[in-house]
Amino acid sequence: MTASSAETHLTAVLHKLAGPHATPRSDQLDAVTAILQPAARVLVVQATGWGKSAVYWAATTALRRAHKGTTLVISPLLALMRDQVAAAEKAGLKAASVNSTNIDDWDPIFYALEHDQLDVLLVSPERLGNPAFAARLPQLLERTALIVIDEAHCISDWGFDFRPDYQRLARSLLAAPNAAVLATTATANDRVTEDVRLQLGPSTAVFRGTLARTSLTLSVIPGLSATERFAWVAAALRTLPGSGIIYTLTVQEAERLASFLQSCGYNVPAYTGQMETADRLLIEQQLRSNQLKAVVATSALGMGYDKPDLGFCLHVGSPSTPVAYYQQIGRAGRALEHAEAILLPASSDERIWEYFATANVPNQDIADRTLNALSRQPLSVIDLEASTSIRRGRLEALLRILAVDDAVRKDGSKWVATGKPWIYDNRKWDALINARQQEATIMRNYAHGRGCLMAWLQQALSDPNPAPCGKCSVCSGRLPEPGLQVDPQLVQQAQQFLRGVDVPVEPRLQWPKGCSRRGKIQSDLSIRSVAFADDPGWTEELAKFERNQDRSIPQELLDGAVQLLKRWKSTWHQRPVAVIPAPAPAHDMVANRQLAQHIASVGRLPLLDCLTWNGPACPENLPSAPHVQHLERCIRLQPATQLPAGPVLLCAATARTMWTLNVTAALLAESGTAGALALVLHRLP
């Protein structure tokens, strides 16, 4: 197809998407022209808002006008898919998506494809590993004229979120003989760009522009405590322009911050990947239509969410890489001359970075144990966890990597070894960890304001001409309101609110295989925690507790435990009749006894110190089965103990998996105590 045909279709699409005065950029036109060549391989690396989607909608329009096949778009997030379906339809194309939330719609969608009634099909990369979808894939590829890999940094090991399922594309899709392939991203440095180019093929045409965003004013507000950050956000929402997104690093932080802002009178909901699809859809639409001042979100509301007039992005805590940060702030200012991107770094950031930096990196030992177990027989993840003693989250991440390398495959609910050997690539994984450490260094420099903020982002993204922007908080010396002066009353309000938020904890429901107890857990255990993880309401007190060599609990935390019990008692069926320290190794038992003694004294209840721990501490990061087996060996009820028939209150200074409390509650129930409550001072992440 000719360049004039490409220009005609690109201009028509731009008019539909952006209005009658929109004109093609020269590099947009070049990209569309390149896609329309036979067996084209094209990589577009351009800033958010440049118009990458217009390129593939224009190419699709031209191909469909020439009676070519469907465009297949690989899209990483449901929110992004929904926006892309809407954008395709606005461009005059018939589009549909196939994902985990609309399985009932698959048959009519594939019927439309078979009868050439659909221009665009969007799928998530995880669908490529689904047997039902994989069975349809060869027939689908026969009818595909263009494959679009959106957010293409994800097919690279160097990509900032490293999704192994995306790498199936290299084998499943890039080998399609008749389709052109377009990969697009706004977040690729030189390493990622070269890696993706090599995967697409040596003849790949690369269109790369500057990734600096002139509409964004970048700022860092340093040195705030956890409660000061919450108060700062509440004050800033009074003056920040338009509507925006407030990003947090964890689901718990998103929910806490949203609740606090709601208590301050703002209509600001939380948005996380743990929410129901319908709830996320509603929030997306409310934000898009300016019914909300802001949404407090995790990265689940990130890639591709399209609200061109988003006025600000706040980050409460720093993402681990500047590339991830750039991708998220790219939601703001796409159709505005000015938008704010503000970072409120936290002292806990680097601990979270360290976890995510290696969370998905495989390990030769656990890979060997997994493959050895699967070589004997197919196993479900639950059975595999029990037989290998590898924690489930780690195991699931490893299986995805092994599946990409064809060492294992999914057969129904079970995993099967293919017989293909898998060798740990030290050079590859060491290089990945080293690259992430380098990116963390850049993010650290950014968060500390050690130079122009935009220049740091440009450097991280390998922009050929990083230069001072002249308007960020470092270059200008100006901070957005309220600056560094946070209203003390608002800080106190934030602390009081956060200390009044109870942390309900779900007890375990099923005993893991291989333990002496089997099936459903019968004990009726209800658990509450004063603080969870890096709880902003208790940051200083938790740090003090961790520093205390004698494991003594600060008085403020003891008082917080009493206040929690006063709030919690309204839901009790019956008041506890005794207090029991939860069993623990000797060092931790000191704090458990102190907490139990304090609660017993304030509540005027008998203290029963009747549980012992006989054996070593439980090793870190054990899967459920060996963890419970260890607890069953160590926890004992002292002989001749007279237990009350009514409910008791177990007290634990810290808890992570809740298995100690569940095993203890089961032991007490088996000894005649009906019902148990458990009070945890600090639930560890």
**Residue range 610-647, pLDDT digits in tens:** 999 999 999 887 888 889 999 999 999 998 888 998 89
Percent residues over pLDDT 70 in the chain: 95
Residues 303 and 406 in one domain: no
Whether residue 482 is preceded by a cis peptide bond, meaning omega within 30 degrees of 0, is yes
Q: What is the CATH number of the domain that holds 55?
A: 3.40.50.300
- For residues 491 and 513, state if they share a domain: no
- Partnered with residue 207 across adjacent β-strands are 44
- CATH number (domain holding residue 368): 1.10.10.10
Residue 54 sits in the same domain as residue 159: yes
- On whether both 43 and 114 belong to a single domain, the answer is yes
Query: Residue 15: inside a domain, yes or no?
Result: yes
Q: What is the DSSP string of 442-463?
A: HHHHHHTT-S-HHHHHHHHTT-
Q: What angle do CA 327, 52, 469 make, to 5 degrees?
A: 50
Q: Is residue 358 part of a domain?
A: no
Structural domain includes residue 183? yes
Pair (307, 167) in one structural domain? no
Radius of gyration of the chain (CA): 28
- Give the confidence band of 129 by pLDDT, cuts at 50, 70, 90: low
Query: Mean pLDDT over all residues of the chain?
Result: 88
189: three-class secondary structure by DSSP: coil
**Which residues make beta-bridge pairs with 146?**
71, 180
Let me know if residue 431 belongs to a domain. Answer: no
Assess whether pLDDT exceeds 70 at residue 159: no
447's CB contacts (< 8 A; 6+ apart) are: 220, 222, 318, 343, 345, 349
pLDDT number for residue 658:
92
What's the first-to-final CA gap in the chain, in angstroms? 56
Q: How far apart are CA 23 and CA 35, in angstroms?
A: 19
Provide the pairing of β-strand 144-150 with 70-74: parallel
Residue 611 confidence (pLDDT): 95
* 272 in Cβ contact with 254 (< 8 Å): yes
- Distance in angstroms (rounded) separating the CA atoms of residues 245 and 299: 11
- Does residue 386 sit in helix, strand or coil? helix
Same domain, 611 and 660: yes
Are residues 199 and 327 part of one domain?
Answer: no
Above 80 in pLDDT, residue 312? yes
d(CA 368, CA 424): 10
Strand partners, 612: 636
Report the alpha-carbon distance of residue 6 to residue 557 in Å, rounded: 67
Contacts (Cβ under 8 Å, ≥6 apart) of 221:
232, 342, 343, 344, 479, 480, 483, 484
Q: Is residue 359 part of a domain?
A: no
The per-residue pLDDT for range 165-196, each reduced to its tens digit, is 677 666 677 777 778 999 998 888 888 888 88
The total number of residues shown for the chain amounts to 685
Give the predicted TM-score (pTM) of the model. Answer: 0.81
How many whole angstroms separate alpha carbon 282 and alpha carbon 279?
5
Same domain flag for 619 and 669 = yes
Closest among 592, 657, 595 to 630, alpha carbons compared: 657
Among 395, 423, 451, the domain-final residue is 423
The reply to whether 588 and 671 lie within a common domain is: yes
Are 190 and 64 spatial neighbours (Cβ–Cβ below 8 Å)? no
Domain that holds residue 467: 216-353+436-499
Q: What is the mean pLDDT of residues 554-576?
A: 94
Identify the CATH number of the domain in which residue 540 sits.
3.40.50
Domain count, the chain: 4
User: pLDDT tens digit string along 451-489?
Assistant: 999 999 988 888 877 889 999 999 999 999 999 989 999
Give me the mean pLDDT over the 233-248 stretch.
Answer: 95
Of 150, 183, 208, which residue sits at a domain end? Answer: 208
> Rounded to an integer, what distance in angstroms lies between the CA atom of residue 382 and that of residue 202?
43
CA distance 58 to 35: 10
Q: How far apart are CA 531 and CA 383, in angstroms?
A: 33
What stretch of H or E contains 294? strand 294-297
In a domain, 143, yes or no: yes
Domain ends where: 373, 393, 423? Answer: 423
Give the whole-angstrom CA distance, residue 656 versus residue 505.
10
CA angle 312, 317, 323 (to 5 degrees): 70
Beta bridge partners of 216: 339
With 0-12 / 13-18 / 19 or more C-beta atoms within 10 angstroms meaning exposed / middle / buried, residue 636 is middle
Residue 55 in any domain: the answer is: yes
Residues 479, 508: one domain? no
Please state the φ and ψ torsions of residue 448, each to the nearest 5 degrees.
-95, 5
Nearest CA to 585 among 552, 617, 610, 609?
Answer: 617
What are the residues whose beta carbons fall under 8 Å from the beta carbon of 333, sequence distance 6 or more? 49, 213, 215, 216, 310, 311, 339, 341
Q: Please tell me whether residues 243 and 330 are part of one structural domain.
A: yes
d(CA 197, CA 209): 16
The amino acid sitting at 366 is I
Q: What integer pLDDT is reported at residue 496 of this predicted model? A: 93
* Phi (first) and psi of residue 512, to 5 degrees: -70, 155
**β pairing state of 635-637 and 611-613:** antiparallel
630 vs 437, 545, 616, 670, CA distance in Å?
Answer: 36, 27, 9, 19
Distance CA 257, CA 198 (A): 43
The first and second tokens of residue 108, run together, are 């009519």
Q: Is 248 contained in some domain?
A: yes
What letter represents residue 525's amino acid? L
Do 105 and 222 share a domain, yes or no? no
Decide if pLDDT at 161 tops 60. no
Per-residue model confidence (pLDDT) at position 326: 87
